[in-house]
Chain A
């Protein structure tokens, strides 16, 4: 018998809202949105954690410029607070090295981190998910009770095609979907919005493609000043799900 799942609920009991940022494929801005969302919520005065579950391609530490910190040990591991955010990533243990993990290993690593990490009390825990509906997503849904999904797509029909499958699975499992954000929008079009509404999922808003965004990677202060972050902040302020008192 695996002793770890029994303790996971206890680890999340003082977190008001658990938001997994997901999408159907890579390269659509999930990690950028997850990282910036955590910064925005922290800037608004909420207590926020950020968990990077993309073990094979972790990037939130690079986006936020997090380096040289390490979790403390206290009856488990306690994530360090950086830029006002409690941050946990596999990079603490793997460093700059690749982590070539198969599904069973990803699943075991997810369970381990969920079981031993002591987040304490938080208004929001943002979880950056790997692309698609693999082991990390299935374990998140299975083990983190009350998790809600914020799903990202781009105007690309390829991204929309893959995100449709993610949304279908989440709906079939009755997992709450906060909404779908259309990221990297380059031209006026209602195509994505209409497609999302057709499958009866809330459309969360759109974020214009920001040519300056890349220059802010690694600098949390500059990231918050970008048009991208301002767009995302408007979505946060106009979406009821981003109020911690609405949660458990």
Chain B
């Protein structure tokens, strides 16, 4: 359940933004959920809800919209792009990437030239798209 730790980060960031921007209430948080990190959306939503409600703060009544983002990788050597979902991975390798997405470089190579030197074009992990408040 390290989803909880990332949900804590989302709420802490929202509170920081509220303070910085002089907001009295956060009304909505939009979050991109990158496929590479393989976050369990149910657990993440539950964590977000519980952390929001436990704090009784300006973020308590905010809505959270989660949007899945497919992970795309691009080889820095030959330029090939491919989807994370296409990578043949054992369960324990997927789990390691779940905890630390950069571990993808340990278990995945370019399907074209076999290089481990690739970048995450999109869909790495949890990312706050927008925070709305008043």
Contact = CB atoms under 8 A, between A and B. Distances in A.
Contacts of A5: 9, 13
Given A1-B131, A73-B1, A116-B99, 16 more contacts: A1-B129, A2-B13, A3-B128, A4-B6, A7-B8, A76-B5, A97-B106, A99-B102, A100-B117, A101-B102, A102-B119, A108-B124, A109-B102, A112-B125, A116-B2, A116-B5
Q: DSSP majority for the B interface?
A: helix
Contacts of B129: 1
Interface in B58-82: none
Given A1-B128, A6-B9, A99 B106 contact: yes
Interface string A66-85: 00000001111100000000
A3 B105 contact: no
Interface size class on chain B is: 20 to 34
Contacts of A90: 100, 103
B115 to A, nearest CB: 9
A225 to B, nearest CB: 35
Contact of B105 (A77, A105, A112, A115): A105
Contacts of A191: none
B91 to A, nearest CB: 14
Nearest to A1: B128
Contacts of B125: 112
A1 B107 CA distance: 27
Interface residues of A, number: 35
A5 B31 CA distance: 16
Nearest to A78: B2
Given A3-B128, A99-B106, A100-B105, A115 B100 contact: no
B96 interface: yes
A40 to B, nearest CB: 29
A112 B126 contact: no
Nearest to B96: A93
Interface in A154-211: none
